[in-house]
Amino acid sequence: MEAALADLAGPAPADFAARVLQRVGIPRNRYDMYLHLEAPAGGLYVAYGPQAVTGAALGKTVPGPEAFEEAHLARTGRSAIRTTRPLPGLRTALRTGRAKGLRIDLPELTEAERAVLDAVRTIPRGQLRPLAWVAREAAVSGTAAVTEALEVNPVPLLIPCHRVTFDESGPCDLRYGPIVGAVLRGAEGIDDALVGLSRMGTVFLGSDTTRIYCHPTCAHARRITPPHQVPFRSARAAREAGYRACKSCRPIAA
Amino acid sequence: MDETAEPLCERLATDLDDGFTELVRVHASAVHAFLLRVTGFAAEADDLGQETFLRAYTALQGYSAKRRRALRPRAWLMTIAANVWRNHVRTCVRRPVAAARVEDSCESWPAEGPGPQERAETAADRALLVAALARLPEPARVAVVLRHVVGMSYAEVAEVQGCPVGTVKAQVSRGIATLRQLLEPEVALLREVTM
């Protein structure tokens, strides 16, 4: 009987708390709202303020909504209230994997961390970039600053840190481990063979018709037909062979 | 007492809007569950829940920081909710309106709750229990819901009801006994039908 009674304490309607706050008249900028959206790796909890996204967590990495609320409060000091209506553009960004235009506001991070994460956001969907590339784009010295920022990335998936690889080896999933990372890359159709290429020592791929070299996952590199693919171990080797760098994926000139 | 009370009261004392948001986040579902099981109507529980928090906010505005810090939020909110509900019942007796009965509000995360099949299996039992709960006398119903649905301690329930702990224990125990009596014949009848 007692167990059956305890079972009656179902959750309140999803937006009850949000409606209470609206009715009481608490200004919207005093709290964040959040909801759980469809995404690979267990969906994504996304919290947002009045204008911009302020935090997120993959469903696989947090035990439940309460855990997400607690973590968000501990990190930002703002309460996350459950809602049912996402920030405009959020659903589209998740569906298409193009989150570059989405506003993300992370005031609790340092200047360098923000610069690195902004650079990571420019990596296109379905492509990979090494740590050194991110360091150059963010104008920070050394890859240590990059890995630090990737470890704290408070908005996984929308800031696509699963598209970053180590300089000469496999993917660099510092935030949530290789299994979740593989799921996220799989959902974007990133070819494991291309990830494998860099493992085998090939860092760049050139085309002997255009004499241009790219990162192997760059959209232009993927158009090179196998007979015309020329692998390079370094940018220097490519330059010495008379190739120039791709202007769209901007491989490192080191 | 719940372990979240300490930092919550601190927030309430330092910044009312911030603390109140946190109060709503932590306690909204408990207040809603209490009102839903006491009234039996989802729509009513919704309205009364909003009314409860509105009153709580107005009251907090008048409290000193010291008083906010000493608050025991859950018992305090439930007291307000119980009062709001009693006022509502009195108003309804004077101005009766017909309302459609809503058995259960099951809007939650899309993936989480039990699927339709499980729901159908447990729905019959749940419906019986909900109906029996609605037939309990008022004080017993409030006590049983606070103790077993919301999961508060006897001391907290006594604070909400404004009576000694012993009285609450008696109310809860008698309430449970009545529920058993109310459910017994129906369960027996169900067995006969299904056999």
**Do B7 and B82 have their domain in common?**
yes
Closest CA to A238 of A194, A191, A199, A203: A203
Alpha helices in B63-164 (DSSP H): 65-69, 73-94, 116-134, 138-144, 154-161
* pLDDT surpassing 50 at residue A42: yes
Question: What is the DSSP pairing of strand A129-130 with strand A53-58?
Answer: unpaired
Output the average pLDDT for chain A. Answer: 87
DSSP codes joined into one string, A102-114: S-B--TTS-HHHH
Does A44 contact B at CB distance below 8 Å? no
Distance in Å, alpha carbon of B13 to nearest chain A alpha carbon: 15
Does B18 contact A at CB distance below 8 Å? yes
**Do B16 and B91 have their domain in common?**
yes
What's the pLDDT tens digit per position in B41-100? 888 899 999 999 999 999 999 999 889 988 899 999 999 999 999 999 888 888 776 554
The number of C-alpha atoms within 13 Å of B173 and in the hemisphere containing its C-beta is 7
Q: Which two tokens stand for residue A44?
A: 């994504």
**Which helix (DSSP H) or strand (DSSP E) does residue A19 occupy?**
helix A16-24
* pLDDT surpassing 90 at residue A40: no
pLDDT at A253: 59
Does B29 contact A at CB distance below 8 Å? yes
Q: Inspect the interface and report whether the beta carbons of B148 and A73 lie closer than 8 Å.
A: no
Domain count along chain B: 2
Please tell me whether residue A236 adopts helix, strand or coil conformation. Answer: helix
- Span A228-240, average pLDDT: 88
Domain coverage including residue B149: 115-195
Is the pTM higher than 0.80?
Answer: no
Looking at per-residue pLDDT, the higher value among B113 and B87 belongs to B87
Q: Which of A8, A68, A73, A81 to mutate to test the interface with B (most CBs of B within 10 A)?
A: A8
pLDDT at A197: 62
CA distance A157 to A40: 9
Does B17 contact A at CB distance below 8 Å? yes
Query: Which residues of A, range 80-139, sit inside 8 Å of B by Cβ?
Result: 80-81
Closest CA to A62 of A71, A75, A54, A53: A71
Chain B residues near residue A13 by CB distance under 8 angstroms = 32, 42, 46, 105, 107-108
CA distance A118 to A104: 10
* pLDDT surpassing 50 at residue A132: yes
pLDDT at B105: 47
Does A74 contact B at CB distance below 8 Å? no
pLDDT bin (cut points 50, 70, 90) of residue B192 is: low
**Does residue B160 belong to any structural domain of this protein?**
yes
Chain B residues near residue A1 by CB distance under 8 angstroms = 176, 179-180
* Residue with tokens 């109906």, as numbered in its chain: B131
* pLDDT surpassing 50 at residue A74: yes
pLDDT bin (cut points 50, 70, 90) of residue B188 is: low
Distance in Å, alpha carbon of B69 to nearest chain A alpha carbon: 19
In the chain, the amino acid numbered A32 is D
- Span A70-81, average pLDDT: 91
pLDDT bin (cut points 50, 70, 90) of residue A241 is: very high
CA distance B162 to A17: 27
Say how many C-beta atoms besides its own lie within 10 A of residue A182's C-beta: 17
**Does residue B27 belong to any structural domain of this protein?**
yes
Domains present along chain A, CATH in parentheses: 12-96 (no CATH), 111-188 (1.10.10.10), 198-245 (no CATH)
**Do B186 and B161 have their domain in common?**
yes
Q: Which of B99, B124, B141 is the last residue of a domain?
A: B99
**Do B92 and B170 have their domain in common?**
no
Output the average pLDDT for chain B. Answer: 82
**A231, A204 contact by CB (below 8 A):** yes
Q: Which two tokens stand for residue A254?
A: 């080191």
* pLDDT surpassing 60 at residue A254: no
**B147, B154 contact by CB (below 8 A):** yes
Please tell me whether residue A163 adopts helix, strand or coil conformation. Answer: helix
Distance in Å, alpha carbon of B75 to nearest chain A alpha carbon: 17
What's the pLDDT tens digit per position in B7-49? 888 888 888 888 999 999 999 999 999 999 888 888 889 999 9
Lowest average pLDDT, out of A216-225, B115-124, B125-134, B144-153, goes to: B115-124
Distance in Å, alpha carbon of B49 to nearest chain A alpha carbon: 8
How deeply is B189 buried, as exposed, middle or buried, from its count of CB atoms within 10 A (0-12, 13-18, 19+)? Answer: exposed
The dihedral over CA atoms of B32, B20, A69, A103, expressed in degrees to the nearest 10, equals 120
| ipTM of this complex prediction, to 2 decimal places | 0.78
Q: Inspect the interface and report whether the beta carbons of A9 and B30 lie closer than 8 Å.
A: yes
Q: Which two tokens stand for residue B132?
A: 């029996």
**Do B78 and B149 have their domain in common?**
no
CA distance B81 to B33: 11
Percent of chain A with pLDDT over 70: 94
**Does residue B34 belong to any structural domain of this protein?**
yes
Q: Inspect the interface and report whether the beta carbons of A26 and B17 lie closer than 8 Å.
A: yes
Distance in Å, alpha carbon of A99 to nearest chain B alpha carbon: 24
* pLDDT surpassing 50 at residue A69: yes
* pLDDT surpassing 50 at residue B1: no
- Span A235-241, average pLDDT: 89
**Does residue B126 belong to any structural domain of this protein?**
yes
Percent of chain B with pLDDT over 90: 32
**Do B94 and B25 have their domain in common?**
yes
Please tell me whether residue B24 adopts helix, strand or coil conformation. Answer: helix
pLDDT at B110: 46
Q: Any idea what the CATH number is for the domain that residue B72 is in?
A: 1.10.1740.10
**Do B83 and B128 have their domain in common?**
no
* pLDDT surpassing 50 at residue B108: no
**Does residue B107 belong to any structural domain of this protein?**
no
pLDDT bin (cut points 50, 70, 90) of residue B116 is: low
C-alpha to C-alpha distances, A62 to A59, A86, A180, B113, nearest whole angstrom: 6, 20, 12, 18
pLDDT at B151: 86
**Do B146 and B189 have their domain in common?**
yes
Percent of chain B with pLDDT over 70: 79
**A91, A39 contact by CB (below 8 A):** no
Long-range contacts of B189-194 (CB under 8 A, 24+ apart): B190/B124
**Do B158 and B194 have their domain in common?**
yes
Which residues are bridge partners to A104 per DSSP? A53
